[in-house]
Chain A
Amino acid sequence: MSPLRYILEKEFKQIFRNPAILKVIFVMPVIQLIALPMAADYEIKNINIAVIDRDHSTVSNKLVQKITASNYFKLVEYNSDFEASMELIENDKADLILEIPKNFEANLYQEKATKLFLAVNAINGVKANLGAAYMTNIVQSYNADFRIQTITPGRFNELPIFEISSTNWYNPKMNYKIFMVPGILVLLITIVGMNLSSINIVREKEMGTIEQINVTPIKKTHFILGKLLPFWIIGLVVISVGFLIAWLVYGIIPLGSYFTLYLFAAIYLLVILGIGLLISTYSENQQQAMLVTFFLMMIFVLMGGLYTSIDSMPDWARWFTRLNPISYFIEVMRMVVLKGSGIVDTGKQFLIMIGYAIVINTWAVLSYQKRA
């Protein structure tokens, strides 16, 4: 019988005897998959706004009503004192100040033009950007309403107007969760796979058991495969649990086939586990391995296209993301889940992953030396 069988048997025994590992493998991903997409939402709500109304007219009143009715803004202050509002920004109680000048209504009716002042607290860049954009949108739509109400329409439009109407393909309601959940699932199996594999060989080094293994006639390839396969299987189980949660909790069923996803996941896991093993063979103790894994993970995650769009990165960074396995899986995951892409459509990603898996794992086997 193949020595590989004995190593696998031993690895599985060790994994299932470690209750902490089982919890980390199964409970943590479930909790994260349920909690993260609910909490880590791109849409920003509850932007605190302070309105300085120096006009106190019908028009200004309606504008403020429209703003607060939008659900995005929370009116924290309504006064006519700029200093007081500024203080709110300084104390982080308000994110935006909207100042409606005196004679706002009068100017609008008589001169057909008036101004609004918007001050944004830009400490939280994302919130500031979005808040200002939402506000501009609301004011513009208010402006359009106002014009319709006040201008007697001519026979033709006096000025040509472009109106853009858009449809959102693949995710018509722009459901944020359909977009995030598959991505987070990718991150989870990456974290589980890379961490488990990276501390595994190193653990044998720390315990000294590797010495005992090294004096046996066992082949390097068998040893590495014995380390890789259990986590590969666990990775596939974790992703299955993830799909189940995506369906039960979020109602997400891939448009494409599960087969494509599993096939890609199988190759992807080989890459991730290979990277873990590589870290493991180069590290001397678990602490080193964990730190390196952590740094790599952070780069992979932040540059993986889940939290920031790869297309908007500078050129050098885009080149870099081509080395990032996470970015391929997230891409494939979204293509299959949202667009229903098949193996042919994702052929490029498949080939790259296969190449990646071969390079990394060959390197891992070569770098593991049974002798110094």
Chain B
Amino acid sequence: MAKLNSNAKAIIVDKVTKSYVNGKKKTTALDQISFEVTAGSLFGLIGPDGAGKTSLFRILTSLLLPDEGSVFVDGLNVQTEYKTLRQRIGYMPGKFSLYTDLTIQENIEFFASLFGTTFEENYDLIKDLYIQIAPFKDRRAGKLSGGMKQKLALCCALIHRPTILFLDEPTTGVDAVSRKEFWEMLQLLKAEGITIIVSTPYMDEATLCDQVALIQEGKILGIDTPQHIIEGFDKAIYAIKSPNMLQLLKHLEKDPAVEHVYPFGEFHHIVMKQKDSVIRIPEAAVMEKITPNIEDVFIDLMRSHAS
């Protein structure tokens, strides 16, 4: 597959709406979503459960038709040119969905053959991943550990050398070490020229992406590079700590000058309504002004949109 030139758009989503009708109740999963993804970049879709991430992925991978709007992936219209498109994309669903009664090797070879290619032909692309699971290649996929399953799934999604790779919550339920490894792997794939779209409920992973979109209740709240997103935050934010954290939280929630307060590691983070407002804090508490991280920005965005 030819490499796309760097300023080409890998994905163009324009005013996409999708709703599900469940009995008489209509649930809007995606509401007038528009965004673009630059070819060769690592694009993160961050949002809580039920935000519409999977629906969006299913539309992008041509599994689901949008109610309104148009979607172009790799220059192809997902509604009409899906047959060509399916040759070019790799999709790893959030739920492990390979054949549990086939071995690692059989799964990879089966998916390779479905795309009219072979394991050997694209071995160099998955080599780094494959050598990690190679010792178990004759083991059935159902008997693998979670991390192994995930590596296998990524192998299967890559075996036909897609130009765009879709990963739906690949790190959900994976331990911290494996997560780190996984993201390193994504950086390598990006270096190969593959555009990667990844969704995650973990906000800390946002900084690892070239560009992130925050999605909530079917709407995109913000879309930018992680750096710009942090810089765009102009509220005053403090970290506070005291021996009795629960009582402190309750106390701060009542304070009229506080916009919102939430536990963050061993601290509580406080976002002020006004930049210069002052609050009364208990004697034992220690408060310090901090620079926000990406999670603070997202929490703020989500809270202000929810209300």
Contact = CB atoms under 8 A, between A and B. Distances in A.
Nearest to A5: B113
Interface in A212-260: 212-218
A212 B100 CA distance: 13
Interface string A317-329: 0000000000000
Which one of A209, A210, A212 has the greatest number of beta carbons of chain B within 10 Å? A212
A212 B93 contact: yes
Interface in B49-108: 58, 61-65, 82-83, 86-87, 89, 91, 93, 95-102, 106
B77 to A, nearest CB: 13
Contacts of A14: 99, 101-102
Interface string B199-232: 0000000000000000000000000000000000
A216 B115 contact: yes
Contacts of A372: 58, 63-65
A9 B115 CA distance: 16
Which one of A1, A18, A207 has the greatest number of beta carbons of chain B within 10 Å? A207
A14 B82 CA distance: 29
A78 interface: no
B83 A208 contact: no
B91 A212 contact: yes
B176 interface: no
Contact of A18 (B89, B101, B110, B115): B101
Contacts of A81: none
Given A6-B110, A13-B102, A217-B86, A371 B93 contact: no
A207 B116 CA distance: 24
B156 interface: yes
B97 A208 contact: yes
Interface in B111-127: 111, 113-116
Contacts of A13: 101-102, 106
Contacts of B61: 215
Contact of A208 (B89, B95, B102, B116): B95
Interface string A1-20: 10100100110011001100
Secondary structure dominating the interface of A: helix
B100 A6 contact: no
A211 B97 contact: yes
B151 to A, nearest CB: 15
A123 to B, nearest CB: 46
Given A3-B116, A372-B63, A372-B65, A208 B93 contact: yes
Interface residues of A, number: 24
Contacts of A1: 113
B59 to A, nearest CB: 10
Contacts of A370: 63
B99 A209 contact: yes
Contacts of B91: 211-212, 215
Given A3-B116, A10-B106, A217-B87, A371 B98 contact: no
Contacts of B64: 371-372
A372 B64 CA distance: 5
Contacts of A211: 63, 91, 93, 97
A6 B118 CA distance: 12
Interface in A357-372: 370-372
B86 A212 contact: no
Contacts of B111: 212, 216
B247 to A, nearest CB: 46
A14 B100 CA distance: 9
B98 A212 contact: yes
B14 to A, nearest CB: 19
Given A10-B99, A14-B102, A216 B93 contact: no
A371 B95 CA distance: 18
Contacts of B116: 3, 217
B82 A371 contact: yes
Contacts of A209: 97-99
Nearest to A371: B63
Nearest to B94: A208
Interface string B149-179: 0000000100000000000000000000000
B114 A218 contact: yes
Nearest to B91: A215
A215 B62 contact: yes
A6 B111 CA distance: 9
Contacts of B140: 17
Interface string A189-221: 000000000000000000111111111111000
A13 B96 CA distance: 20
Contacts of A216: 86, 111, 114-115
Nearest to B82: A371
Which one of A3, A218, A371 has the greatest number of beta carbons of chain B within 10 Å? A371
Nearest to A217: B86
Contacts of B110: 6, 9-10
A212 B95 CA distance: 10
Nearest to B166: A215
16 contacts: A6-B113, A6-B114, A9-B110, A14-B99, A17-B140, A208-B95, A212-B98, A213-B114, A215-B61, A215-B89, A215-B91, A217-B87, A217-B116, A370-B63, A372-B63, A372-B64
Interface of B: 58, 61-65, 82-83, 86-87, 89, 91, 93, 95-102, 106, 110-111, 113-116, 140, 156
Given A209-B97, A371-B64, 13 more contacts: A9-B110, A10-B99, A14-B101, A17-B101, A18-B101, A207-B100, A209-B99, A211-B63, A212-B91, A215-B63, A218-B114, A370-B63, A372-B58
The 3 closest A-B pairs by CB, nearest first: A208-B97, A6-B113, A216-B114
Interface of A: 1, 3, 6, 9-10, 13-14, 17-18, 207-218, 370-372
